[in-house]
A and B are shown apart, each in its own frame.
Chain A
Amino acid sequence: MSDKTIAVFADTAEAYEGLCSGARALGGDPIALWAGGEAEAKRIAAWGARVVYVGEIPEGALYEDCALAFQQVIEAERPALVLACASKRTQCVAGRLAVRLGAPVVSDASRMALDDDGVETARLVYGGAAERVERSRGMAIVLVGSGVFEIDEAPAPGAVERAEVSVEPGPIKVVERCKRQEETVDLGAAKVVVCVGRGIQNERNVDAARRFASRVGGEMACTRPIAEGEGWMARSRYLGVSGAVVRPDVYVGLGVSGQVQHTVGMAESQFVVAVNKDKSAPIMKQCDLGLVADLEKALPVLASL
């Protein structure tokens, strides 16, 4: 076995399978830091990590309050690298750890390599217009999306150790917590993706696009403003640098301008179709087949295809 340890953390137990595999792929031994249920600590150990368990999140506290406990564990274990599964919550924990440990954070790394001096990472910058490779001097905190690491065959389960420190509630109080009624979809397996942008203009047209998608056996997707601004579709359906990435056989963009933040999420499609009323929209240079026309005219024809 290697002599490097890699501390991993996430705000859901499932994410540890990928993180533990990733730590091993980087040539290290995973130490899983976990704040949450005890049963989950055992599940995480089964993915081949020694689990350092800091206990449950106290009532009224946030997951993010685990940062101080994690800091102490990391200072004691002195890992070569800290790996975390990217989420709003781990972003907060990583930022606090960064200041407390004097370590840099790399958000949304898409690949990495570890050696004795530090970690080399790649991530998108300028909204996806460029990929930046960076090299840390010493320990860094690297956040990765799910799916960056391949799942390996886990070695023997690790032990669960109760840490000396526990999660203490911070100054921020949780008053209420409720589930959001929003679908979560995985567009990864879709062969055809019909993607609507702001040019779709209204929900009636979104319905027409939906009819088209179901006739051709496609999944619906959208640009970020359709999900975040208009709220016409679930957030899990928007493609791009801050959304999902798809590689379908056919991508059909309806009223999508094709700005780089979006095209990063569909650039690997086999065949790209675009309808846009503006001939100079960037997507017209990034499509295989395009139509410069008003969607009001084009949608009925497509919907009856």
Chain B
Amino acid sequence: MNIVVCYKIVPDEQDAVVQADRTLSFERASLKIGDYDLNAVEAGAQLAEAHGASLVCLTVGGDAVEDAKLKKAVLARGPHENVAVRDASLPEAGSTTTARVLAAAVRHLGEFDLVLCGEGSADRYAQQVGVQLGELLGVPAINAVSAIEVDDGVAHVERAVGAVVERLDVPLPAVLSVAAGINEPRIPSMKDILTAGKKPSHVLSLADVGFDGVDEAIDVVSTCAPERRERACEVFEGDDDETIRAFAARVRERL
């Protein structure tokens, strides 16, 4: 069985600096693997371990896809091989382009049984790429997957939508977007990280995967930090009774 898991590398929004014109600067931001993509990686790792399947992790993006630390971080979490499609245009790509490049890359990798995506990317959180990828590959796709068992060419999945839990049979190959609560991503050990450094990793271009562009019929007009309310920030410090009581008294004034 061949499993592909898609993850996105994004600048950490906690390091974003709001400029005078309210745009964000990520110049000094550290990079991270999308929080919810780690759940997809973990789900893939568990399935690969249970079924002796091959697990490739796939990302498309800019120069960040070559970050050695992140490459190790993702490979230390179970995948056997890392594949990245790199192009300067990709960090700003919307769902349409991203899904199409991923589809081209998955086809380039060869036969697959299962493609896993996260609930949403950490920066855009459009929750679209997984479904669109499935449609582009011409295979069934479903989101909000909270449990997966694979058996004889079928994924038996659980899915929570609103107040309903569904059990579905999804014929493979398929694309599944997993819910954030599906698992607790592992914390890799030192040994995992060391072995990760020896695992294969490839960087491909758009031409390598045979992607020749798509018109994404939407343009970004602006991206600005919202106005924040001014806060008084009156902060008490200390675990002693007196401080806590003084604080509690101030809270009571407000209630």
Q: Using a CB-CB cutoff of 8 Å, which residues 71-124 of chain B contact chain A?
A: 94-96, 99, 120, 122-124
Nearest-Cβ distance from residue A83 to partner chain B, whole angstroms = 15
Total residues of chain B contacting the partner, CB 8 A? 77
Tell me which residues across on chain A come within 8 A of B225, comparing CB atoms.
129-131
- In the complex, are the beta carbons of B16 and A120 less than 8 A apart? no
Tell me which residues across on chain B come within 8 A of A137, comparing CB atoms.
217-219
| A289 CB contact (under 8 Å) in B166, B220, B254 | B254
Complex CA–CA separation, A94 to B229 (angstroms) = 35
| B132 CB contact (under 8 Å) in A98, A171, A224 | A98
The verdict on A95 contacting B131 (CB below 8 Å), with A293-B243, A301-B248 known, is: yes
- In the complex, are the beta carbons of A250 and B239 less than 8 A apart? no
Judge whether A252 is part of the interface by a CB distance below 8 angstroms: yes
Complex CA–CA separation, A249 to B226 (angstroms) = 21
What 1/0 mask marks residues of chain A from 64 to 98 whose CB sits below 8 Å from any chain B CB?
Answer: 10000000000000000000000111011011101
- Segment with Cβ contacts to A, from B49-57, B62-70, B155-163, B188-196: B155-163
Nearest-Cβ distance from residue B89 to partner chain A, whole angstroms = 16
| B248 CB contact (under 8 Å) in A102, A229, A302 | A302
Judge whether A114 is part of the interface by a CB distance below 8 angstroms: no
- In the complex, are the beta carbons of A286 and B164 less than 8 A apart? no
Tell me which residues across on chain A come within 8 A of B96, comparing CB atoms.
98, 104
| B144 CB contact (under 8 Å) in A88, A178, A285 | A88
Total residues of chain A contacting the partner, CB 8 A? 87
- In the complex, are the beta carbons of A87 and B239 less than 8 A apart? no
- In the complex, are the beta carbons of A302 and B125 less than 8 A apart? no
Nearest-Cβ distance from residue A52 to partner chain B, whole angstroms = 22
Q: Using a CB-CB cutoff of 8 Å, which residues 211-255 of chain B contact chain A?
A: 216-226, 228-229, 231-239, 241, 243-245, 247-248, 250-252, 254-255
- Segment with Cβ contacts to A, from B1-9, B133-141, B201-209: B133-141
- In the complex, are the beta carbons of B251 and A305 less than 8 A apart? yes
Complex CA–CA separation, A174 to B158 (angstroms) = 10
- In the complex, are the beta carbons of B166 and A176 less than 8 A apart? yes
Nearest-Cβ distance from residue A113 to partner chain B, whole angstroms = 11
Q: Using a CB-CB cutoff of 8 Å, which residues 80-138 of chain A contact chain B?
A: 87-89, 91-92, 94-96, 98-100, 102-108, 118, 120, 125-138
Tell me which residues across on chain A come within 8 A of B228, comparing CB atoms.
267, 286
Complex CA–CA separation, A138 to B132 (angstroms) = 19
- In the complex, are the beta carbons of A289 and B247 less than 8 A apart? yes
Tell me which residues across on chain B come within 8 A of A131, comparing CB atoms.
223-226
- In the complex, are the beta carbons of A135 and B221 less than 8 A apart? yes
Nearest-Cβ distance from residue A228 to partner chain B, whole angstroms = 4
Tell me which residues across on chain A come within 8 A of B234, comparing CB atoms.
288-290
- In the complex, are the beta carbons of A175 and B169 less than 8 A apart? yes
Q: Using a CB-CB cutoff of 8 Å, which residues 13-47 of chain B contact chain A?
A: 13-14, 16, 24
| A293 CB contact (under 8 Å) in B127, B216, B238 | B238
Tell me which residues across on chain B come within 8 A of A129, comparing CB atoms.
13, 16, 24, 225
Tell me which residues across on chain A come within 8 A of B152, comparing CB atoms.
none
Judge whether A179 is part of the interface by a CB distance below 8 angstroms: yes
Judge whether A5 is part of the interface by a CB distance below 8 angstroms: no
| B220 CB contact (under 8 Å) in A91, A96, A132, A292 | A132
The chain A residues found within 8 Å of chain B, CB to CB, are 62, 64, 87-89, 91-92, 94-96, 98-100, 102-108, 118, 120, 125-138, 140, 170-180, 182, 184, 192, 216-217, 224, 228-229, 231, 241-242, 249-250, 252, 259-260, 267-268, 271-273, 279, 282, 284-294, 297-298, 301-302, 305
Starting from the known contacts A128-B226, A293-B247, 8 additional A-B residue pairs (CB-CB under 8 Å) come to A95-B130, A125-B125, A131-B226, A133-B220, A173-B168, A174-B167, A284-B235, A289-B250
Nearest 6 A-B pairs (CB), nearest first? A95-B131, A290-B235, A99-B135, A104-B218, A126-B13, A133-B221
